[in-house]
Structure 1
Amino acid sequence: MTYAHRATRFRALHRTGEPLLLPNAWDHASAAALAHGGFRAIGTTSLGVAAAAGKADATGGTREETLRLARGLARLPALVTVDIEGGFSERPEEVAELAVELVRAGVVGVNIEDGRPDGTLTGTAQQCELIRAVKESVPDLFVNARTDTYWLRAGGAEETARRAAAYQLAGADGLFVPGLQDEEAIAGLVAGVIDIPLNILYAPGALTYRRLAELGVRRVSSGSLLFRAALHAAVGTARSIARGGAVPEDLPSYADAQALAAPYLSATHGEEV
């Protein structure tokens, strides 16, 4: 299957049927397990990628780790979208170069965010330049424009709507608003502000996948949740062993884990998707 066909398929997942439930992986094994579990599309979590490399998230220090992981994940039988934080550069041409490398690897989408490490937001005009540079270089790449207005408590509904409209005009294919759980604000974005798919971050104890679907959300991401759940399970299992307790009986075997890599070592860019 050609890159154009896979890019079209990924785009269609945001427009037809049930909202895209996008699990986020942090390494090859987690992504392969999710693909084996039947998920047609997989994202990456910048927190998981950074933490696995012993680095801090959202500081622009994991460009090489992100690119290296993306090249491996694109061999899986799933459509892959990658979190590139703020693009790992403030220069549009450098962000576009990264996007080109990702497309060459077989990646069909990226998240690019406007939040800065100091807790402020990148200027709207500057963020639009980054989005335009990427879309001009690789038009088929699905650019999910993330705005951290709610995440950073920097503007609320009005600022979110303003940035959403600007990012769509700049060429964004989707809008991601992590931290947004207000039903009225979500419905307002869907009904009157944008006509590109809205992506919401799943939050335990908040709006369910079904309710988000009813509100018109077209993509629901897990973010770093799976990575954090894995850490919790690992520590909990170790403590259970130390206390003489039981461990889950349905864990993957050694052979199961080994098999996660074997089928994809010589595969070519998700040709089984």
Structure 2
Amino acid sequence: MPMTTAEKRATFRGMHESGCFVLPNPWDIGSARALQHLGFKAIASTSAGFAWSIGKADNRVMLEDVLRHLTALCGACDLPVNADFEGGFAHKAEKVAANVALATKTGIAGLSIEDSTGDAAKPLYERAFAVERIKAARAAINADNSGALLTGRCEGFLVGQADLTMVVDRLQAYSEAGADCLYAPGIKTKEQISAVVKAMHPKPVNLLIGASGLSVAEAADLGVRRISVGGSLARTAWSGFMRAAREMAEKGTFTELGNGYSGGELNKMFS
């Protein structure tokens, strides 16, 4: 029997209490169902992967598009869904709260709020303002007793401010502001990861792993609770598509099509 939204949220929260799990990032209904078929216990949206699927660049998708996408993912599979909710699709804290309230109505089990501004000249929100945004997201989740899990993200390493002391300080502030899980995308070394995990203890830490990095076992040994892959699965799919399409366009040959996944297996998986 399918899980209710409340059951998905309780399950998702429980997954953060011990061990280490992979939270893969599908970009559409098909990829979400494929990940459930492969045995993953929860999934997360990817802002980049979804944007590319509708012909837009990352961080150029409208709130309404994302809400429809999240609703579709939550309805497509019987797994908890964590939302990559970017910066809350707003600057002011009260608007972030309003948008988070809309997001929880899609059925998500959790969401993340990041502190990047989108402004290259000033890529991170001022610390105090970033904290207010996390507090607002927390208040919105609490207001309807949804039980959704809130992840606070510091984007320092992704925007050229690879100051671990600053990142840890911000994450600790986001934790105090009500974030249940903490996330610093871009940290890679064992020393960086271990420092973040220790500073956030006992709250769980999400680790981003892309083209290279630690194994699940290695991350678990460092105390990481959750691993996500961002847009990497989508990029992998686009890689095969672009190789085959370029071959057809530039050479007039079709050999790359022979590397495609079995249509029969796909039909069997989705039947």
Corresponding position of 2:179 = 172
- Does 2:189 match 1:182? yes
Structure 1 residue 245, shift from structure 2 partner:
5.9
Equivalent residues of 1:58, 1:116 under 8 A apart: no
Equivalent residues of 1:177, 1:199 under 8 A apart: yes
Structure 1 gap ranges (5+): 263-273
Equivalent residues of 1:49, 1:65 under 8 A apart: no
Corresponding position of 1:13 = 15
Structure 1 residue 36, shift from structure 2 partner:
2.1
Corresponding position of 2:129 = 126
TM-score using structure 1 length: 0.86
Aligned with residue 242 of structure 1, among 232, 245, 253: 253
Equivalent residues of 1:63, 1:84 under 8 A apart: no
Matches within 5 A, 1:27-46: 27-46=28-47
**Could you tell me which amino acid in structure 1 is paired with residue 217 of structure 2?**
R
Matches within 5 A, 1:1-273: 1-17=3-19, 19-59=20-60, 61-75=61-75, 76-119=77-120, 120-139=123-142, 140-238=147-245, 239=247, 242-244=253-255, 247-248=258-259, 250-253=261-264, 256=267, 260=270
Distance change in 2, residues 1:101/1:246 (3 Å) = closer
Structure whose residues are more often helix by fraction: 2
Deviation string 1:245-270 (CA, Å, 9 cap, x unpaired) is 6614752439728x74x8xxxxxxxx
TM-score using structure 2 length: 0.87
**Could you tell me which amino acid in structure 2 is paired with residue 223 of structure 1?**
G
Which has the larger displacement, 119-128 or 62-71?
Answer: 119-128
Residue 82 of structure 1 aligns to a residue whose secondary structure is strand
Distance change in 2, residues 1:3/1:191 (3 Å) = same
Structure 1 residue 4, shift from structure 2 partner:
3.2
CA distance in structure 2 between the partners assigned to 1:82 and 1:64 by the alignment: 14
CA RMSD of aligned residues (A): 2.3
CA distance in structure 2 between the partners assigned to 1:137 and 1:124 by the alignment: 20
Structure 1 residue 55, shift from structure 2 partner:
2.2
Residue 106 of structure 1 aligns to a residue whose secondary structure is coil
Residue 81 of structure 2 aligns to a residue whose secondary structure is strand
CA distance in structure 2 between the partners assigned to 1:204 and 1:255 by the alignment: 25
Structure 1 residue 155, shift from structure 2 partner:
4.5
- Of structures 1 and 2, the one with the larger relative CO (CA 8 A, separation 6+) is 1
Deviation string 1:153-181 (CA, Å, 9 cap, x unpaired) is 21511001110110000000111111101
Structure 1 residue 195, shift from structure 2 partner:
2.4
